[in-house]
Amino acid sequence: MHPSASAQQQRSDPGHVVLVLADPSGPLERLITDLVLLGYRPSVHSTDETPYLDPSPALAILLSPDVRNHAVPWSETLRRVDRLRSVPLVWLVDEPELGQLSGSEHLIDEFLTIPYTTSELGARLTLLVHRSGGDTDDGTIRHGGLALNPLSYQVSLEDRALDLTFMEYELLKLFIGHPGRVYTREEILSQVWGYDYFGGMRTVDVHVRRLRAKLGQDHAWLLETVRGVGYRLAKGRM
Cβ(46)–Cβ(24) below 8 Å: yes
Residues 174 and 110 in one domain: no
Domain tally for the chain? Answer: 2
- Residue 123: predicted pLDDT: 85
Peptide bond into 73 cis (omega under 30): no
Of 132, 152, 184, which closes a domain? 132
Residues 81 and 117 in one domain: yes
Residues 211 and 229 in one domain: yes
Residues 104 and 150 in one domain: no
Residues 34 and 123 in one domain: yes
3-state secondary structure of 69: helix
Residues 110 and 10 in one domain: yes
- Give, for all 238 residues of the chain, the pLDDT tens digit: 333 333 333 334 434 788 888 776 667 888 889 888 888 888 887 665 555 445 567 788 888 766 666 677 777 777 777 667 778 888 887 776 666 666 666 777 888 888 888 888 888 888 787 666 544 445 678 787 888 887 778 899 987 899 988 889 989 999 988 888 899 998 898 888 875 555 677 889 999 999 999 999 989 999 999 998 999 998 754 5
238 within some domain: no
148 within some domain: yes
Residues 81 and 176 in one domain: no
Residues 64 and 91 in one domain: yes
Residues 187 and 120 in one domain: no
CB 126: neighbour CB atoms within 10 A?
17
Residues 198 and 155 in one domain: yes
16 within some domain: yes
Residues 36 and 125 in one domain: yes
81 within some domain: yes
- Residue 12: predicted pLDDT: 40
Q: Give the C-alpha separation, 68 to 119, whole Å.
A: 27
- Residue 225: predicted pLDDT: 95
Domain span at residue 151?
141-233
Cβ(18)–Cβ(59) below 8 Å: yes
For residue 218, CA distances in Å to 51, 181, 214 come to 50, 22, 10
Of 71, 97, 132, which closes a domain? 132
55 within some domain: yes
86 within some domain: yes
Query: CATH code at 41?
Result: 3.40.50.2300
Residues 38 and 128 in one domain: yes
Q: Give the C-alpha separation, 86 to 134, whole Å.
A: 11
88 within some domain: yes
Query: CATH code at 149?
Result: 1.10.10.10
Strands 183-184 and 223-226: unpaired
227 within some domain: yes
